[in-house]
Amino acid sequence: MPTGSRIEITSLTKRFGSFVAVDDLSFAVDPGRITGFLGPNGAGKTTTLRMLLGLVHPTSGTATIAGQNYRDLPDPLRGVGAALEATNFHPGRSGRDHLRVLAAAAGIGDSRVDELLELTGIPAFANRRAGNYSMGMRQRLALAAALLGDPQVLILDEPANGLDPEGIRWLRGFLRHLSGEQGKTILISSHLLAEVEQTVDDVIIIANGVLVRQGTMAELRAGGGAIVRTSDPRALVGALAERHIAGTVEADDVGEMVLAESTNLRAVGEIAHAAGLPVWELSTKAADLEELFLDLTGGTNRNLGEGAA
Amino acid sequence: MGAPMRAAVRAEFLKFFTTRLWWGMAIAVFVAGAAFAVLFAILFTSDSLAGSAGGPGGLPTGDALQIANSVYTGGLSVGYLLLLSIGVLQIGSEYRHKTITSTFLSVPRRVRAMVAKVIALLGIAAAYGVLSLVASVSVGALVLNLRGAEAFPSAEILRTLALSLLVLGLWALIGLGLGILIPNQVAALMIGVGVAWIIEPLAGLAIKASEFGRESIAPLMPSEATAAVINTVLASPDDVRLSWWAGALALAGWATLVAVPGIWRTVRQDIT
């Protein structure tokens, strides 16, 4: 598999009976970046990942890695590492043996298994039965399993779930290393934006099986628009409106300000200058990510809706 | 066998030998082999049976060869139930603990993954079969000698011993099919063992009530076919029995009937 394997989801749809789990979903995931695949529980994230990995048959559309279906990869574990659910271990089998089974199927030696147990920080527990593992241990074991073949593409479903703050920090550093220095393609899903917002470069947000937002984390953060303080806020709103930028006058404890619905600070500043208004402050309004996430995905959660009915 | 298939089979063996199931089963198979050999060696050489051709009093009947066969394969009556259980558990535990996900991630060609399971299962059955025979032949031959019966009346015994391994393999495949077709592992185990051990033999008795059933259907039943393959003593002189190869075909037919739809289903279904 060539360096820089791209994940491409094209018009992917999955119906279970009359229930549409994933609805005409399209997006791409680029190498060398960490992409967050976000949405509330039941949004269709896991179904999408399972279609990408050949476990669930799409009703229509395609999901490919480096242009190939997962099923057609000549050496799947060396191309793609996946950790789907951290609970999928035989409780009577030790963590080390779980890895040995997977390694055997891919023709990988036991020395690589021990290397990964070391790397993910679980050698002390490796020979204990996995049924006794804590959630954090399972996550590390699942990650070790995904990394067995040193794959170019990593697909991790809720990898931070059940990790303590130190574990999340460790995971972040680890994934940064894999994407930044090794140029791997990393796709991680989460139902909590806050859990991954410091980790991911790009975000794909889905709700009810439909794509609702795609872009870089920086774009998402800047989504709040621009804050301008000037001598005559109302005049500036008028000037902005002439250039098709919506603005409102709001007040905080400092005084009145204009909230412009644009993240192009240069354009906003030039409009103020042309209108002869002195600019006292011009800054990006950081989006309230949690609010934004709920706006994008909330209120329409079909699972909650059914439960409440 | 290509390298990917060899690797997949190796992974299946590793799966089996990395849980505690295997040695528990090994002890059970060994003890059953030895215990039934002693029991049958004493029973079938008792005075009421020895040298009799007619099976008075409803006792099982057979010649020296059939007696030796029965002694050495006596443990199979338990052994095939154990292999049936292993077959159920091999796939059932994958669904129960959701390890089927990592199985199909490491071997995404599902037909290959399932064929690897079948090959591994046949190997496991053969290994347990050998273990059972080591117990039954050593102990059984000793007891037969002590009782003055022929321990090795003919070379045909070797055929029986070899075929008993095949019988175990086919029963394991029946278990594999059941383990898929009955999604709840515990239900699959209870239904599988219950049917094979109790219901199927009873059904066989009921079928034998009619002339047609006794001659044409009963011999094809799994337990009767098993008895035909390993040529044990007859339960009743009126019984009709298939030749060993026809019995093997009948048993293979049963294994195919259950395992192939099961495998087909696993290959097609969504793993959620």
* ipTM computed for the complex: 0.89
Distance separating alpha carbons of residues A266 and A226, to the nearest angstrom? 10
pLDDT beyond 70 at B50: no
User: Which residue in chain B has the smallest CA separation from A51?
Assistant: B270
Nearest to A90 among B97, B271, B272 (CB): B97
* Edge-to-edge order in the sheet of strand A19-29: A19-29, A7-16, A60-65
pLDDT beyond 50 at B210: yes
Which residue is listed with tokens 């870089």? A216
Residues of B in contact with A153 (CB under 8 A): none
Nearest to B14 among A53, A89, A100 (CB): A100
pTM of the full structure: 0.87
**Is B155 exposed, middle or buried (CB count within 10 Å of its CB: 0-12, 13-18, 19+)?**
exposed
- pLDDT 10s digits, A24-49: 999 999 999 999 999 988 899 999 99
Q: Do A97 and B108 touch (CB under 8 A)?
A: no
Q: Do A55 and B271 touch (CB under 8 A)?
A: yes
Helical pair B222-230 and B156-181, crossing angle rounded to 10 deg: 160
- pLDDT 10s digits, A105-164: 999 999 999 999 999 988 888 999 999 898 889 999 999 999 999 999 999 999 988 888
Which stretches of chain A sit within 8 Å of chain B by CB? Answer: 47, 50, 53-57, 70-71, 73, 76-77, 82, 84-85, 87-94, 97-98, 100-102, 104-107, 145
- For residues B31-58, give the mean pLDDT: 73
pLDDT beyond 60 at B49: no
- For residues B83-106, give the mean pLDDT: 95
**What single-letter amino acid sits at B8?**
A
Residue-level pLDDT at B59? 55
Q: What is the 3-state secondary structure (H, E, C) of chain B?
A: CCHHHHHHHHHHHHHHHCCCHHHHHHHHHHHHHHHHHHHHHHHHCCCCCCCCCCCHHHCCECCHHHHHHHHHCCCHHHHHHHHHHHHHHHHHHHHHCCCHHHHHHHCCCHHHHHHHHHHHHHHHHHHHHHHHHHHHHHHHHHHHHHCCCCCCCCCHHHHHHHHHHHHHHHHHHHHHHHHHHCCCHHHHHHHHHHHHHHHHHHHHHHHCCCHHHHHHHHHHCHHHHHHHHHCCCECCCCCCCCCHHHHHHHHHHHHHHHHHHHHHHHHHCCCC
Distances (CA, A) of B67 to B52, B57, B95: 12, 18, 42
Pair B104, B271: CB distance under 8 Å:
yes
- A180: CB partners within 8 A, 6+ apart: A32
Helical pair B156-181 and B185-194, crossing angle rounded to 10 deg: 140
Q: Do A89 and B97 touch (CB under 8 A)?
A: yes
**What single-letter amino acid sits at B60?**
P
Highest mean pLDDT among A13-22, A257-266, B154-163, B204-213 belongs to: A13-22
CB pairs under 8 A between A and B: 82
Residues of A in contact with B93 (CB under 8 A): 90
User: Which residue in chain B has the smallest CA separation from A49?
Assistant: B272
Residue-level pLDDT at B179? 94
Distances (CA, A) of B72 to A53, B142, B158, B241: 49, 11, 10, 19
Q: Do A71 and B109 touch (CB under 8 A)?
A: yes
Q: Closest Cα to residue A106, out of A66, A137, A138, A151?
A: A151
pLDDT beyond 90 at A292: no
- For residues A184-194, give the mean pLDDT: 92
Residue of B1, B104, B105, B271 to mutate when probing chain A, most A C-beta within 10 A: B105
Nearest to A88 among B10, B21, B97 (CB): B97
Give residue A85's pLDDT band: very low, low, confident or very high (50, 70, 90). confident
Q: Do B97 and A91 touch (CB under 8 A)?
A: yes
Mean pLDDT across chain B: 90
Q: Closest Cα to residue B227, out of B216, B215, B239?
A: B239
Tell me the shortest Cα–Cα distance from B102 to chain A, in angstroms.
7
- For residues A90-98, give the mean pLDDT: 94
Nearest to B102 among A56, A91, A102 (CB): A102
Please give the span between the terminal C-alpha atoms of chain B, in angstroms, as a whole number: 31
Q: Do A71 and B108 touch (CB under 8 A)?
A: yes
Nearest to A56 among B14, B108, B272 (CB): B272
